[in-house]
Amino acid sequence: MVSGKVKIIEWLKRLVLILFALMIGYLLVASIFSTCYIGGYRYMTPAQTEEINVEHTFFIRDNYLQHFVVFIVFSFLLLMFRVKGGGKNQVSKFADNKYLGIAACIAAGIVSVLIVLAGQYDPKFDQRHVVEAAAALNAHDYSDFEVGGYLHVFPFQMGIVIYFRLLSWLFGSRNYIAFEIVNAVWIAAAYYFFMKIADILWSKEHRCKSGTAVLCLLFAPFLMYTTFLYGTVVGMAFALLSFYMMLLYIAEPKTGYLLICAVSMGLATVFKSNYAIYMIAEIICIAFKILADKSSERKKLYGRLLLIGMILLCFIIGRAGVSASIRNANHGEEVKGIPMMAWVVMGLQDGKGAPGWYNAYNNSIYESNDYDYDKAQEAVMNDLKAKIKGMAHRPMTTIGFFVKKVSSQWNNPTFQSLWILEGRSAREDSIWMLQEKGRAVYIFCVNLLQTWILAGTFLYTVLRFKKSSIEEIILPVTFVGGFIFHLFWEAEGLYAILYFPLLIPLSVCGYKEWAVWLDARRSEIMADGWKSPAGEKLKKKICAGAVVAVIFCVLSYTTPFAKLLARNDDTGIFNTYTQEIVNESDIPLEQ
């Protein structure tokens, strides 16, 4: 008999998976019928001066047939390469090769290094600010803490500045190429941890580790982030290491696992504060395991409570350490910077590129209030109240705002990977992916890949809904947390890349489950024929699936569908940024 506590945990787990399935289903439909690209856009200002926004998001209709064809062909290949008579969960021997995953991780590191060496990229925007701040502090120049200085305005960046100070001591200040090559090492490490996490979660049912590593290698947008001198890559490596150690600790409580788990997550949140969402998801997963434990397993209970306590302690120590370093560099004075709620207000406003994207509100509100934190906080809260009130009075406009905001950051298959390369290299003219044909091929491939990953993840939510373990929810919970957080926070593809790779192991597991399901249906048909009860049942499922697909295709041409599920506002004016718009003179002008 199942206890009441176990039932509660099971329902909580299913609630998480339902919410996750709804998000993935929404993104999958949007990805099939539309897509987003970032490119240059000329427009006339109210003062009748012409300006160019190089970070404009175009909402474009997609070719849904190519996505359906890719899925059908891949499903057929799954059946072809299954090992006959090798057990119900066996797949091709090549896919199970124990060296394949390691080779894919090493290859990812090598490809990342080649990307760096090919472009010799200098940092831009915030990247340059944090690297320059690190170089200045190493030279005992503390001007960034003066009123209006970068670290006075953005003190939360001190964690990643400390990281670049350490790299500067090793490789020299402003040694951008060396810093980016270190990023390549972190990418290879992150992919390795993805592989090990998949192995722990599904090794008893499926062999997903090699497939996870290979799919990570194919996920080119994240490889481009090796050139991104920020906390994104190093933070993910440490956050995933923490996840891996947590899973090991749950299976076998060892002090080493506990310490590495807690310290790694603390470092991840220091390097980039957004990884606090990973930390919260980790704590939720551990809490679920505690609730699922039997009352007699007190030793496990105390150990898991200790793990939560250590994670929180390392998070607090990390924040305290960053604050202490700021005070030490700023003559003992604390720096508060821009109120964090300013990013929420900005996330609810229209940006130049897309709804919720950067529009300099956070900087301007702080500057207009004389860099006074309390005055700026009051002004921000007043703006937030007014914004919420205005949105409540215009519900349909508000819905449209959030649909475009979600699409702009989650339905952009490049995740700004080309944008972060542009304008940073003297060799840009020789970089194939930034040219007409290269850009077209790259975006075509990642567009298909994004939909393919989402489809596999959706299969995971359906086929493992009832049999998933508590440990598995660590990935869905993290994604759900990131999705909800950036629904209100500032939007950017740069933020979505923090969470989308979490879908890769889930997608691989989903396709493994799909292969098992397809093989079982094939066995039934081969044994009993299409006219058997099993055959008739399968024919009904195929017909139902085809009808649903046709209905979605027909509805995709309607205005309500476009407004709610797949925005394609710019299809009429878009001049194929991926292929034709290379020079500013080719950018369409909006009057």
DSSP element (H, E) containing 541: helix 533-555
| Residue 335 backbone dihedrals phi, psi, to 5 degrees | -120, 125
Residues 350 and 430 in one domain: no
Residues 449 and 554 in one domain: yes
Pair 214, 505: CB distance under 8 Å: no
Pull the structure tokens for residue 169: 């001591």
What is the Cα–Cα distance from 339 to 419, expressed in whole angstroms?
28
CA 104 and chain centroid, separation: 20
pTM, whole model, 2 decimals?
0.92
Going edge to edge, which strands form the sheet with 50-61?
50-61, 34-44, 589-590
Residue 554 burial (10 A CB sphere; 0-12, 13-18, 19+): exposed
Q: Model confidence over 311-332: pLDDT tens digits? A: 999 999 999 999 999 999 888 8
Pull the structure tokens for residue 360: 């300099």
Pull the structure tokens for residue 109: 């590191």
- Domain-embedded: residue 400: no
What pLDDT is stored for residue 266 in this prediction? 97
What is the Cα–Cα distance from 323 to 321, expressed in whole angstroms?
5
Which residues are within 8 A (CB) of 4 and not within 5 positions of it... i.e. 6 or more apart? none
Lowest mean pLDDT among 37-41, 219-223, 462-466: 37-41
- Domain-embedded: residue 405: no
Residues 257 and 311 in one domain: yes
Residue 36, pLDDT above cutoff 80: yes
Residues 32 and 158 in one domain: yes
Q: Model confidence over 502-531: pLDDT tens digits? A: 999 999 999 999 998 988 888 888 877 777
Q: Which amino acid is at 505?
A: P
- Domain-embedded: residue 368: yes
Residue 154 burial (10 A CB sphere; 0-12, 13-18, 19+): buried
Residue 491, pLDDT above cutoff 80: yes
Residue 88, pLDDT above cutoff 50: no
What pLDDT is stored for residue 589 in this prediction? 38
Tokens 């900087």 sit on residue: 363
Lowest mean pLDDT among 73-77, 81-85, 115-119, 193-197: 81-85
Query: Looking at residue 37, what DSSP letter applies?
Result: E
| Residue 546 backbone dihedrals phi, psi, to 5 degrees | -65, -40
What pLDDT is stored for residue 299 in this prediction? 73
Total number of domains in the chain: 2
Residue 182, pLDDT above cutoff 50: yes
What pLDDT is stored for residue 541 in this prediction? 86
Pull the structure tokens for residue 279: 């930390």
Q: Which amino acid is at 472?
A: E
Q: Model confidence over 217-245: pLDDT tens digits? A: 999 999 999 999 999 999 999 999 999 99
> Helix 395-410 to helix 4-33 angle, to the nearest 10 degrees?
80
Residues 147 and 281 in one domain: yes
What pLDDT is stored for residue 119 in this prediction? 86
What is the Cα–Cα distance from 225 to 232, expressed in whole angstroms?
8
Residues 391 and 503 in one domain: no
For the chain, what percentages of helix, strand and coil (3-state, to nearest 5) are there?
A: 70, 5, 25
- Domain-embedded: residue 404: no
What pLDDT is stored for residue 186 in this prediction? 97
- Domain-embedded: residue 403: no
What is the Cα–Cα distance from 266 to 322, expressed in whole angstroms?
11
- Domain-embedded: residue 32: yes
Confidence of residue 97 (pLDDT cuts 50, 70, 90): low
Residue 533, pLDDT above cutoff 60: yes
Taking residue 167's Cβ as centre, other Cβ atoms within 10 Å add up to 18
- Domain-embedded: residue 571: yes
Nearest to 129 by CA among 166, 169, 160, 168: 160
Residues 354 and 464 in one domain: no
* Domain that residue 218 falls in: 4-337+412-590
Give me the chain's average pLDDT, please.
Answer: 87
What pLDDT is stored for residue 522 in this prediction? 85
Residues 376 and 448 in one domain: no
Go through 373-393 and write b for each residue having 16 or more CB atoms within 10 A of its CB, e for each that does not. Answer: eeebbebbeebeeeeeeeeee
Q: Model confidence over 401-416: pLDDT tens digits? A: 999 999 999 999 999 9
Pair 209, 196: CB distance under 8 Å: yes
Sign of CA dihedral 356, 359, 362, 366: negative
Residues 390 and 422 in one domain: no
- Domain-embedded: residue 474: yes
Q: Which amino acid is at 239?
A: A
| Residue 296 backbone dihedrals phi, psi, to 5 degrees | -80, -15
What pLDDT is stored for residue 4 in this prediction? 66
Confidence of residue 574 (pLDDT cuts 50, 70, 90): low
Beta bridge partners of 34: 61
Residues 81 and 225 in one domain: yes
Query: Looking at residue 432, what DSSP letter applies?
Result: G
Q: What is the pLDDT averaged over residues 55-59?
A: 86
Residue 426, pLDDT above cutoff 90: no
What is the Cα–Cα distance from 305 to 311, expressed in whole angstroms?
10
Confidence of residue 83 (pLDDT cuts 50, 70, 90): very low
| Alpha helix (H) residue ranges in 394-431 | 395-410
CA 52 and chain centroid, separation: 28
Residues 435 and 297 in one domain: yes
The beta strand positions in 20-74, using DSSP E, are: 34-44, 50-61
Residues 159 and 208 in one domain: yes
What pLDDT is stored for residue 196 in this prediction? 95
Residue 536, pLDDT above cutoff 60: yes
